[in-house]
Chain A
Amino acid sequence: MGRLFAVEIVYRGIFQKNLAKNISRGIALAARHAGKMGISFGRYGDSPERNGIPAKSFAVIGTDEETLQEGMAKYEPKEVDVSIAVDDTLFKGVESWAWYGLQPINRLLRPGGTLIVTSMNGPEALIPMAHRKETPYRLAILKGTPSFSGLWVYKDDHTDVRVLGAIAKVLPDLFTIDDVEKAILEEWSAPLKVTSARKAHERITTRVVSPSEGNLEKTFEFELPKWYEMREGVSIPSIARGAAMTDPVTQQTGGYRPVRNPTFKKYTTRTMRPVVNFDTCVKCTLCWLQCPDSCFDVTPDALYDANMEACCGCGVCEAVCPVENCVTMVNETAFTDNASQWEMWKKDKPAYAAWLQEKIQHKPERSHGFRYRGQYEEQLPPMMEIAGGAGPEDESDKEG
């Protein structure tokens, strides 16, 4: 009996679909050069064509054909040697559109496995976002912003091969950096990408995450009922109607908070969230009206509180708000919980004003899209610097 390897790539729907596929294909191709056989596939129940939905690709590798069969005809492996998060906000958990509940980012990692993440943050910011795991695992940070490489006009920033180089380092039994080089030349015929892969391979370091570290939140999940416990006729009870909200200070009731699906929340789709300056809100209703997920609760004082258990972070509210700096989208890594902003504001307005200022003062980068024309071009040089020193000019030559 040979050995079976599994690697998962957790990514954001649409934006990183091709990136994830490039990585899982690259793993299978590099493994072939290491004398192994592999398959590359996406989790079938996912909906990778939906904006930002957490989704997964997998590479399963066997040292021989019969061993590989044990990893085939499955939706996902039960355990993986390496998990790769190509967006660090996925550390907050993964809820597939296919309704598997909220899954911790490290759920499939086998004891001692490695979680590789592309991030500009350090372990002190990342580890508290990930749920605690009973067994220790290793964390490897590949410096970089969430890559859209492979999506339409976005340039190839070499994230795919940098990840391959990192895997060769953390799981050398799977393949070596030399195998990665052969696979890159075979798949992309790009020597510069080999350089990037080797740089990532040299630089990547890991740190052990112990069971005492991480987010204590209990992820929401559900029991799958027996067939005779289920309603007939493919029917389910509807979500109940909503109710009035209560002012945490005055206890005044009013407004309306819809009841939402308790087992399908979708908020891990979010890579950024709106923060609202309630003092400048003119109650125009546009955010509430235009929100595609009906995430705004109507407060007793007729304000609109974006409910973080429902918000998918699309940014439509920011776009439609007619008041300057009333709604600002802020990267999800800046937050540790889903608490109500309105309640915080009601309880302590000066404290809220300070909190708000702290969140928006840097005008942090949007996780997708840009704040102004030309911003992408400005971002390229530092990104290439991080990746290994190859300038964008070199890159465009390659693409020509």
Chain B
Amino acid sequence: MAQAVEKVATSPKEHDALISGSEAIAVACKLADVDVITAYPIRPYDTVMQYVAKLVSNGELDCEYIVAESEHSQFEIVKHASAAGARVFCGSSGVGWMYAFEALTVTPALRIPMVAMVGNRALDDPGAFGVEHNDALAVRDLGWQLVWVDNAQEALDTALIAYRVAEDRRVFLPCAIACDGAFLTHSQSQVKIPPQEWVKRFLPPYNRGDLLLHPDNPITVAPQVNEDWLMEIRKHNDEAMKRSKTVIREAYAEFAKIFGRDYGNPFFEEYQTQDADVVLVGMGTLSMPVKVAIRRMRAEGKKVGFVRIRWFRPFVAEELAATLGRFKAVGIIDRDFSFGSPYTSGVLATEVRAALYPAEKRPPVLAFICGLGGREVTVPDVQRMSEMLLRAAAGERQPLTTWVGIRE
């Protein structure tokens, strides 16, 4: 097996590189010194496996790199490796992620701190490469931590944070980093790559402790149970997910100290919300056109803000509801669909509405379905949504769900 050559490991300074979101994730794998990586190609995730392969062949990353025969095996292999104490990485996209679904369900149940990258892609049919968030969202109820990022730097940083959170003994839950296909996975931008030393300080070794599968620690994992056992087992994961919120906060604070990049509130980013009358809420790279549109509208005196949700699981309902309660109307942009859901909106809108229900202040919520299948979310799209929000804020009745950017 190739020995890793530490090219920049001793460098005390970070260095700039022009890399894509996928490359940033691969670089994070190298910095995190991941032990076992499995791969199976599907666009847009496959760019990560290509960059990882390159790192391995260049001798920069010393890991077991296994190309499986399917996504299901891909995720099963790392699940077992993680149970045996290896730091692991995996990933997929769209229907590939769905093909691994059985493995995806057992991974959080066994408290496996796998870190995965989901290159968001529309689910077949029809075959399409463009971004939709339904693939990653499909695991939202299972115990996966889910985080959305909107640029390559954040992808790299979040991958390092994900390892620290997932591998914390209080958590031991998998974490999927959702990266929008094309806009993030296939687009290179300037990224600061931290030195290995900083990462070593930030990321302690993975210690599986009493759950380690090893001859010296004889345990049986995942036996069959009857109705007398499962509720207690589910409660374990419920508690772990609750604890994850605390651990995420700790990790971001520590990250800011060591790396000098402070993300503020880890769970969601607020943009120009201070004096906003209305806000849009969304996840991923649609933040770019939204921010542009907001700046233009503000020039016209329209007080629109934006809340970009990073961590969808755990979902900080109380904190988000308190924030959204400050505004006169809230618009949720879903780059996903949930056919037949309440008010036939999307997953995020349904979650935000549920989060707001017990809140003291409940502004009107409008749901927007936008940017499906990788369609660009445009500045005029955002302006249209904002205008509807402003009308709702003025007390005018607006449709609860609107498809924006559809030919009609």
Residues in chain A within 8 A of chain B (CB atoms): 44-45, 75, 98-100, 224-227, 230-238, 240
Contact = CB atoms under 8 A, between A and B. Distances in A.
Nearest to B240: A232
A285 B257 CA distance: 67
B222 interface: yes
B370 to A, nearest CB: 40
Contacts of B236: 227, 230, 232-233
B228 A235 contact: no
Contacts of A237: 218-220
A226 B235 CA distance: 10
A308 to B, nearest CB: 25
A319 B405 CA distance: 75
Contact of A232 (B211, B222, B223, B231): B211
B210 interface: yes
A233 B172 contact: yes
A227 B211 CA distance: 17
B226 A232 contact: no
Nearest to B235: A227
8 contacts: A44-B227, A99-B228, A227-B236, A232-B111, A232-B240, A233-B110, A234-B233, A235-B220
Given A227-B235, A230-B232, A231-B210, A236 B227 contact: no
A238 B215 CA distance: 10
B232 A235 contact: no
Interface in B203-231: 210-211, 218-223, 225-229, 231
Contacts of B235: 227
5 pairs of A and B residues whose beta carbons are closest in the complex: A238-B218, A227-B232, A233-B111, A45-B226, A227-B235
For this complex, into which size category does the number of interface residues on chain B fall? 20 to 34
Given A227-B235, A227-B236, A236 B220 contact: yes
B231 A227 contact: yes
Interface of B: 109-111, 172, 210-211, 218-223, 225-229, 231-233, 235-236, 240
Contact of B232 (A44, A100, A226, A238): A226
B172 A232 contact: yes
Contacts of A45: 226-227
A210 to B, nearest CB: 33
Contact of A235 (B211, B225, B227, B240): B211
A234 B231 contact: no
Contacts of A226: 232
A137 to B, nearest CB: 27
A105 B227 CA distance: 22
Nearest to A43: B226
A281 B117 CA distance: 62
Contacts of A225: 232
Nearest to B213: A235
Given A98-B226, A99-B226, A234 B110 contact: yes
Contacts of A234: 109-111, 221-223, 233
A58 to B, nearest CB: 16
B406 to A, nearest CB: 45
Nearest to A47: B224
Contact of B219 (A100, A227, A235): A235
Of the candidates A225, A226, A234, the one having the most CB atoms from chain B within 10 angstroms of its own CB is: A234
A44 B211 CA distance: 31
A317 to B, nearest CB: 27
A233 B211 contact: yes
A234 B222 CA distance: 5
A225 B218 CA distance: 21
Nearest to A227: B232
A233 B232 contact: no
Nearest to A234: B222
A170 B295 CA distance: 86
Contact of A230 (B219, B222, B233): B233
Nearest to A226: B232
Contacts of A232: 111, 172, 211, 236, 240
A33 B387 CA distance: 70
A235 B223 CA distance: 8
Contacts of B221: 233-235
A283 B210 CA distance: 41
Nearest to B236: A232
Contacts of A233: 110-111, 172, 211, 221, 236
Contacts of B210: 231
A227 B235 CA distance: 7
Max count, chain B CB within 10 A of own CB: residue among A226, A232, A237: A232
Contacts of B231: 227
Contact of B227 (A75, A230, A238): A75
